[in-house]
Structure formats: structure tokens, C-alpha cells
Amino acid sequence: MWSEDVALVCTERYGSGSVVKYMKCDDGAVQCERPRPTHKYRPLRDCFTSLFLPHGFPDSVSEDYLEYQLWDTLQAFSSSVTGSLATHALLRGSGVGDSSATVTGATITWILRDGTGMVGRILFAWMKGSLLDCDAKRWRLFADVLNDLAIFMEILAPVFPSCFTLTVCTAGVFKCIVGVAGGATRAALTVHQARRDNMADVCAKDGSQETVVNLAGLLVSLVLVPMVSDSLWGTYLLFFLLTCLHLYANYRAVRSVIMETLNQSRLRIVLEHFLLEGRILSPAEANPKEPLLPGLGSQVSVDVGVPLNAVISSVSQLDVLKEGNDSLYLLGWRRDTGRLAVVLHERAGSADIIRSVVHAEILHRETLCSDPARYTVLAETHRHVSRMFPDFYRGLCAAGWVTDRNLLDSDDWRANWDINKGL
């Protein structure tokens, strides 16, 4: 035996686990004293953790990781079962079991479905690719709603044989859009969850979780699909119940995510609270208020990082925008659409981009773009933002927001309107 206050050599622990003590024996040797397991199933739990959770869990991931993954697992299971219902419907609609159907006809349908889907994937990535990072939660939920719509169309397709190919191709386009939006937003959420530069490990374990869930969904489908295969209304009822579960689980999953980077929705929420109460909301307080469906929310429409000629057409207009402006951006209105637009200086950083969007939000509250005195109001808001933004920015940093990068969808145009200074 030894006295702990004398024989204790050092302590260590693995991650946030229990403390292990190294004790000095009477003969000078060092003996490791590990705490006794408090639960008989601890080895099984450790095995499960190493198989399906990132190395170093829970310290190596964000605090919202476990809740998000639990809801994500539930939605993946329900989607796997409804996908089996859709596969059954597609095979039946393609002529499986019908002696009058031809292999050539089914092959052509499948080729058209895949081809239109590929075109849809390319066009969607071109049109919306840059927005997927900025509103990852919103687009993730949109992708799952669109996926359920595509599955419903595939289940419904055999009911209308004359429109089968058109319906299947449309559903194929939707599913390819889902693939782009879902995959891209999943990557964005993985970047948020990986806290030790362990994105690859988080992705790999997420794949393991999804594989197990899909396997469970296949096993359940082996039981459920034959039970409802001969009943159209039974198929619809099962699809409806599983879709409700799928949508609810997806909503809870994306709602559980606490993003520390500022997109326009979160910045607007924080700014409004600051202007009303003088306090900066933390990420945990602001994220639950973020709208998750496209079209919701009242943030101002502003284009950040536009070319200079999109805003001005003369030197006098440039002088008006520079008047009273001590910032590294020019805020004005686009000549083609009338939308608020920001021209960024070549020295502008993330803080300047955040300030420009804050300025746009405040200006939007002061005047409409059609107001003939809008440039007067612009100069006044410049002075207001110059006074309040330093306190606002310090509050963001103190509240835990990431400010050295942002998700405000800034384009890459940069200008330098100070080249004649000092000449």
C-alpha cells in the first residue's frame, strides 16, 4: 500500500475521460492505477464509440454534434424505407413482371432519367452553388423536402402510365438537385462540426453511421414493402407516415446546429437585438431564431463585392459615395436592378464585409431605394455606423462569434479609389 499524497507521481487522462494515476511503489517502480469500470457494458460502449464516432469524441467535435447525428440518423432511416417504396414502384412501372414490356423501353426510360438528372445537377450547381455555404441549414432542409417530393412522384408514376417517363425524369432531376444541395450542405456542416482539423474522420464516421442506418432500413423494407405492395392506399399511408417522420427529424436536426459564423440571417437577428436592447446575442441564442425555409426572413437584399461600374457611371457619383465615408467599402444602389450593393476596397477584410452588411441593414431601415433623398440618408447612416460598429464588433467577438471569416456571400471584385491620395 502507499500514501497518495506521497506516492503519487503523475496523472493523465484520455480526452475528457477519467483520470489515471501513476503511483510510486516501495521498490521504486511506477504502477498505473486505473479507475474501476462503473458499468459492466463499458467495453461494448467503447467499441461502439470507436466504430461510429470521430476519434476523440466528444472533445473533437462541436457541442451540437450528437443531437444533430441522432436526428440525422432517424431521418436517414425513414428516407431509406420510402426509397424502397419508390424503387418498387419504378420497377413495376418499368414493366417488371409484365410480359408485354420490353427491355429496350425500360432501358430508354432509365437513360432519359439519368441524363436529365445530370443536366439538372450541373445547372443547379451553377445557379446556387455559392449560396449553399451561406445558408447551409436552410438548403439542407430544402433538399430533404425536395427529396420527399421526388420519392412521391416516383411512387405515383405507375398510376399514370402515359406520363411515366416524364414523371420519372422530373423526379430524377429533383433527386440530382438533392444530391448537390445535400452533399454540399453536409460538407459545410462537417466543417462546422470538426473542431480538430479532423474533417476527414468526421466524414468517414458519418458514412459508417449512414451505412448502418441504410442497412437497417433495407431490413425493415424487406418486411414492410411486401405487406403494402399490392395495396396502393397502403403504400400511400406508409409513405405519408414515414415522410412526416422524415421531415420532423430533418427540422430538428438542422435546428440543433449552432453555427458561430455569420450569414445574413444571423447577422440581422443579432443586429436587431443590439439596436433594441444594446446586447449581442450569443450563437446559442441567435441560431434558434434563424429562419430555415427559403423565402422566410426579412433581411435586406444586398450584393456584396460588386464591380464599381455596377454602382456608378460618373466621377460625381463616386464622390457622393465617398463623402463622409471612412470605411473600406462603398455602399450604393445597382444601376440595373436598384438593389443595394457594396463595392469593396482591395484592403477590405472580413470585418469590413460585416460592417458593410450592417450598414446596408441600417440604411434599409431608414429609407426605401426609391426615396429621392436616399443619398442624404446614406451620408447620415455612415456617421451612425462609424459610431456604433466598433462596440458592435467587439460584442460579436466577446459573444463567441467567428469574425475572421463570414458567410455573407461576398463576390471577388475589389477596387481602389484612393490611388490619387497625397498627389
Residue 158 and residue 192 in one domain: yes
Model confidence pLDDT, tens digit, residues 346-391: 999 999 999 999 999 999 887 654 455 667 888 888 889 999 999 9
Query: Can you give the residue range of the structural domain that contains 48?
Result: 4-52
Residue 101 and residue 246 in one domain: yes
- Any idea what the CATH number is for the domain that residue 241 is in? 1.20.1250.20
Residue 228 and residue 123 in one domain: yes
Residue 143 and residue 23 in one domain: no
Model confidence pLDDT, tens digit, residues 155-186: 998 888 888 889 999 999 999 999 999 888 98
Asked, for residue 419, whether it belongs to a domain, the answer is: no
Residue 116 and residue 237 in one domain: yes
Residue 227 and residue 313 in one domain: no
Average the pLDDT over each of 269-273, 277-281, 286-290, 363-367 and give the range with the smallest value.
Answer: 363-367
Asked, for residue 27, whether it belongs to a domain, the answer is: yes
Asked, for residue 60, whether it belongs to a domain, the answer is: no
d(CA 220, CA 99): 30
Q: Which of 65, 39, 38 is nearest to 52 (CA)?
A: 65
pLDDT of residue 405: 93
pLDDT at 99 over 60: no
pLDDT at 270 over 70: yes
Number of structural domains the chain divides into: 3
pLDDT of residue 56: 84
Residue 157 and residue 241 in one domain: yes
Asked, for residue 413, whether it belongs to a domain, the answer is: no
* Side-chain half-sphere exposure of 399, counting CA atoms within 13 A: 26
pLDDT at 88 over 50: yes
Residue 271 and residue 398 in one domain: yes
For range 194-210, the mean pLDDT: 90
Residue 240 and residue 111 in one domain: yes
Average the pLDDT over each of 34-38, 73-77, 102-106 and give the range with the smallest value.
Answer: 34-38
pLDDT of residue 174: 93
Q: Of 114 and 215, which is predicted with more confidence?
A: 215
For range 301-311, the mean pLDDT: 93
Residue 7: enclosing H or E segment and its boundaries? helix 4-7
DSSP 213-230: HHHHHHHHHHHHHHHHTT
Residue 17 and residue 126 in one domain: no
Q: Which of 194, 212, 213 is nearest to 203 (CA)?
A: 194
Asked, for residue 250, whether it belongs to a domain, the answer is: yes
Average the pLDDT over each of 42-56, 228-242, 251-265, 393-407 and give the range with the smallest value.
Answer: 42-56
- Secondary structure class of 15 (helix, strand, coil): coil
Residue 339 and residue 301 in one domain: yes
Asked, for residue 414, whether it belongs to a domain, the answer is: no
Residue 251 and residue 302 in one domain: no
Residues 24/30, Cβ–Cβ less than 8 Å: yes
Asked, for residue 418, whether it belongs to a domain, the answer is: no
Asked, for residue 422, whether it belongs to a domain, the answer is: no
- Please, what is the average pLDDT of the chain? 86
Binning pLDDT at 50, 70 and 90, where does residue 423 land? very low
